[in-house]
Amino acid sequence: MPLPDPIPHIRGTRGRPRHRPKRLFADRGYDYDKYRRLIRARGITPKIARKGTAHGSGPGKTRRVVERTFARLHRFERLRIRHEIRADLHLGLLQLACSIICLRRLRTSF
């Protein structure tokens, strides 16, 4: 479980900052008791979609936001097919793409 371990402190309400999130959302590919036990052992509530349930129910509603964000980022060709070898150039293009997406959303909201 290398993904949830290096999560930085989560700022929020008063008091001691949390080291881990309260919940972890995942898709049907992680619907195994092994993963659920490992996540619970770290003090995180697993919200993993069950195999055999209808799409669009349960955690799928929250994951849809993430999938839409990836789809918006993949509109930028250089991010979809990584041409840059250096990580700092790729990060700069990613930040630029996020800024453009936010600007477009702000323009349509006013």
**Does 50 share its domain with 90?**
no
Exposure string of 83-96, with b = 16+ CB inside 10 Å and e = fewer, is eeeeeeeeeebeee
Q: Does a structural domain hold residue 69?
A: no
Residue 99, domain extent: 74-110
* Domain count of the fold of the chain: 2
Across the chain, mean pLDDT equals 79
pLDDT at 26 over 90: no
**Does 4 share its domain with 56?**
yes
What global pTM score does this model have? 0.48
Q: What is the pLDDT of residue 69?
A: 82
Q: What is the pLDDT of residue 31?
A: 83
Per-residue pLDDT tens digits for 46-96: 888 777 777 665 655 666 777 788 888 888 887 777 777 888 888 898 899
